[in-house]
Amino acid sequence: MPKSSKKRKEKAADFTKAKLKLGKGKRLPSNVVDTSFKARSIALPTQSITVEKDNVPTTKRKRTFNDILSLLKHYNASVRKDAISSAKELFEDFPDLVKSHMPPLFGSCARLIGDEDAGVRKTLLSFFDWLLPRVPKDDLLPHAPLLLLFTTSAQTHIFPEIRIDGIRFLDLFMAVLPEAVVTGWDTSGSGPGRRVLDGYLGLLNSGTKFGASGDDAPATSTSAVILSSQSRLVVLRSLSNFLRCTARSQPATDRSIPNPSQATPSLPTWFLRPFFANTNLYEEHSHLFRTPRVDRREKQMRWTLRPSFESFDEDFAYNMHSIPEVPSTLTELLGCSTYQDKSASTPDEIAMLMRLARTLFSTLSVSYLDCAPVVFSPSVNPPETDLQLLTAAMEITRTLYSVVLQSTTQGSDIIPSCNELKTLIGYLTGHFPFKPAHRDTKVEQAFQNLNVIYCELTSLVVLVSSWWSSEAGQHGDTSIRSLSRRLSLKYTKTSKLDIQTELVRSYVVRVLNGEGESGDQLPRPLMPSVYIALLPSVWALLNYPSGPGVNSDEAVTSSVLSAILDHAIRTTSSSAVKRLTVEFVARLLLLEKERGYIGCFNPTNVRVDEKWQQWMLHLPKALWEMGYNNLCSSETVIQALLRLVQRGSSIIRHEHVTSLSSRLVPFFTVSHPTRGDIPGPFTKIPVSALHIRRLALDLSAIVIAEHIKGERGSGDGSTVCHDLERAVRVATAATPEEEYWAQLAVTMQLSSRCNPEDLYST
């Protein structure tokens, strides 16, 4: 039967659109939910209507610190980023809040180090860069474990960009808390240092974990990715900084952190250590120029006509027949060397660095081979990224192998490291000396840095060869001779080492003479950092061992030594390098009679006597020019002259003592024909620098006594001696040093009537 019309209408109603009628409004759907409600009052407990916030610090958007903490955990990345900016704004307006709010702040911010949003990480980096230097170090240390825990976690994140940002956070933490970052780097125990190192190696595809055994590093993880040049540069730079921090954290007699009270860093002496019979004798030499401290008990030596030798004092009796007969009270000269003695590392640390160098050798080789042809192109200046990549790789090489090869206790274990270093140097030898294709100040400075590092690396190999050769010659040990042969250090004119040494010698002499690249007309002054970096190379060239194929290495030594002396004389008294040149040349001269010195270099064997004496006689003028304006340099000059005269250096003869006496007079008092006595720079040295004033008086006393001693046979020159004595007496009148000089004057008169044998006879 046909369907009824009623059912047809009902089915059609579902698809029929209702017609709108005027004034009736739109018909609501059948599934609408009524959300209307009625209430007599509305409670808003967190709004400013009911809560007073006048005494609570807020941002411009009325956000308190608690509001910011809650927003740092928000699911939206834009909100988290904005919360970090609000935190910076709050602490800028209310800096007193930082100290009291650090625990919750670092607890929330640490979790954002590995945030998946790049904008949040970038904003957090900027915030930490602003905040961390403003917080005292002692207040930051308790939060370092938490921050480094999340940072090392970010180093191993699945996303490469988070790994690279983790390295950037490490750089910030190493700038303010280097000890906390490197703690435990050489052990597998507590401390984040080993985890940080493993993160570096994993990023560089040098193994996901650095093995503690002597075996090679395990295979690279398949999850490792190939880094771009920019990312690789970030990792290598940070690794270089990390290795430098590990070197600073090692205990040593010489620290590598410059003294903030000095205008220039102190002279390094670590390269001299292998050339002394033992560590104690080396430390005696390194302490020659240390500044005495007024807050410590200083050793006092009273020189008398008949000293008691019941308690033998080696410092007093050293070279006793050469010490001038001046029975005065002289403060012990203590050295002020701030460069680290890298050889003070323990055997376990050195073994660890040797394995690390072996692990990174392939990474460094790739960096050298990839970047060197581009950087040293003769047609165009290098791209900045490639130049910085090569610089970072060479700095890592210098940091690693300098510690390893300075250790003389490893024996044959240093053979692989020495051969690895020679291989890396060989990649660059064909390009040395490095010159930019076109003149550019920034590129020239970068190339000078590369040249200096190359010289340092070459000098390490030469120093190792020199040390083993001197040991073999001194002890006649066949095992040492065998080791020297295994190091492939053959001294022939055609050997690679000889070629590299000659290239370094030529470059060092040219730099010391102030000669720049081709086209430079004026001499270029050396910066203190460059001069310090060249000293290991200078010392290596002075001790370069001669062999069967070398006709004469005296010419090499003479050319380098002449360049050093010429540069020391030519450098002005106001130069920042002047103090370094005075101390280094004085140390070279003092090696002549230094106890326990076993090196090849001997200042008396090189025929540059006139330059030695010219350098010595120019020091009084430099001292007068420095005066009280540069007390540190003045002290070094006084110490150098005092030590040389004390030890009876072979370059100081009677006529030189006479010249020293006359040239020291203006430093104390100048006698003017019409104006009378004019005070010299000595009188303007502040009383707070009492040790410098007394050192100057000690120098005058010893020079006068030495002059009187040499005058006995000649009977001339007494006027010069009296001029200096009068100048000192006038300068010390009515000063705290007047009594001190009076005592020295009495002892000088006594000593002038005695023979040296009578003074020190037992």
pLDDT of residue 272: 87
**Other CB atoms closer than 10 Å to residue 294's CB: what's the count?**
10
More confident residue, 83 or 217: 83
Q: Are 167 and 203 in contact (CB under 8 A)?
A: yes
Q: What CA–CA distance (Å, rounded) separates 588 from 307?
A: 30
Whether the predicted pLDDT of 303 surpasses 60: no
pLDDT digits (tens, 9 = 90+) for 546-582: 543 333 456 677 888 999 999 999 999 989 899 999 9
pLDDT of residue 3: 62
Return the SS3 of 680. Answer: coil
Reading the block at residue 58, the tokens are 């807020």
The lowest-confidence range among 49-58, 112-121, 725-734 is 49-58
Reported as half-sphere exposure (CB side, CA atoms, 13 A), residue 267 has a value of 29
Burial 312-351 (b: 16+ CB within 10 A, else e): eeeebeeeeeebbbbbbebeebbbbbbbbbbbbbeeebbb
Find the Cα–Cα–Cα–Cα dihedral 493, 495, 496, 497, rounded to 10°. -80
More confident residue, 520 or 297: 520
pLDDT of residue 710: 67
Q: Are 165 and 121 in contact (CB under 8 A)?
A: yes
pLDDT digits (tens, 9 = 90+) for 686-708: 888 888 898 999 888 888 888 77
pLDDT digits (tens, 9 = 90+) for 304-345: 444 444 433 434 333 333 333 333 333 333 233 333 444 456
Specify the DSSP element, H or E, that contains 408: none
**Other CB atoms closer than 10 Å to residue 614's CB: what's the count?**
14
Distances (CA, A) of 469 to 47, 178, 301, 504, 509: 83, 39, 39, 20, 25
pLDDT of residue 594: 86
Q: What CA–CA distance (Å, rounded) separates 668 from 693?
A: 10
pLDDT of residue 414: 76
- At 711, the pLDDT band (50, 70, 90 cuts) reads low
Residues 6+ apart with CB under 8 A from 534: 452, 455, 508, 511, 512, 526
pLDDT digits (tens, 9 = 90+) for 404-442: 887 654 455 677 888 889 999 999 999 999 988 888 888
Q: What CA–CA distance (Å, rounded) separates 725 from 668?
A: 10
- At 519, the pLDDT band (50, 70, 90 cuts) reads very low
Q: What CA–CA distance (Å, rounded) separates 54 from 396?
A: 55
Whether the predicted pLDDT of 172 surpasses 80: yes
8-state DSSP, 276: B
Q: Are 499 and 430 in contact (CB under 8 A)?
A: no
Instruction: Return the CA Rg of the chain.
Output: 36
pLDDT of residue 184: 86
- Amino acid (1-letter code) at residue 552: S
The lowest-confidence range among 39-53, 113-127, 589-603, 738-752 is 39-53
Q: What CA–CA distance (Å, rounded) separates 51 from 380?
A: 68
Distances (CA, A) of 108 to 13, 70, 141, 532: 61, 9, 17, 45
What average pLDDT score do residues 525-539 get? 88
The per-residue pLDDT of the chain, averaged, comes to 78
Distances (CA, A) of 253 to 239, 427, 753: 25, 35, 43
Q: Got the DSSP string for 545-592?
A: PP-TT-S-SHHHHHHHHHHHHHHHHHS-TTSTTHHHHHHHHHHHHHGG
What percentage of the chain exceeds 70 in pLDDT? 75
What average pLDDT score do residues 112-140 get? 93
What average pLDDT score do residues 159-185 get? 92
CA angle 570–573–579, rounded 5-degree value: 95
Residues 6+ apart with CB under 8 A from 469: 484, 489, 545, 600
- Amino acid (1-letter code) at residue 703: V
Whether the predicted pLDDT of 247 surpasses 80: no
pLDDT of residue 489: 45
pLDDT digits (tens, 9 = 90+) for 136-158: 999 999 999 999 999 999 999 99
Q: Which of 512, 513, 489 is nearest to 501 (CA)?
A: 489
Q: Are 543 and 588 in contact (CB under 8 A)?
A: no
Whether the predicted pLDDT of 447 surpasses 70: yes
pLDDT digits (tens, 9 = 90+) for 93-118: 998 898 889 999 999 999 999 999 99
The lowest-confidence range among 262-276, 288-302, 368-382 is 288-302
Q: Are 530 and 577 in contact (CB under 8 A)?
A: no
Q: Which of 156, 251, 256 is nearest to 197 (CA)?
A: 156
Helices (H) and strands (E) in the chain — how many of each?
Answer: 30, 4
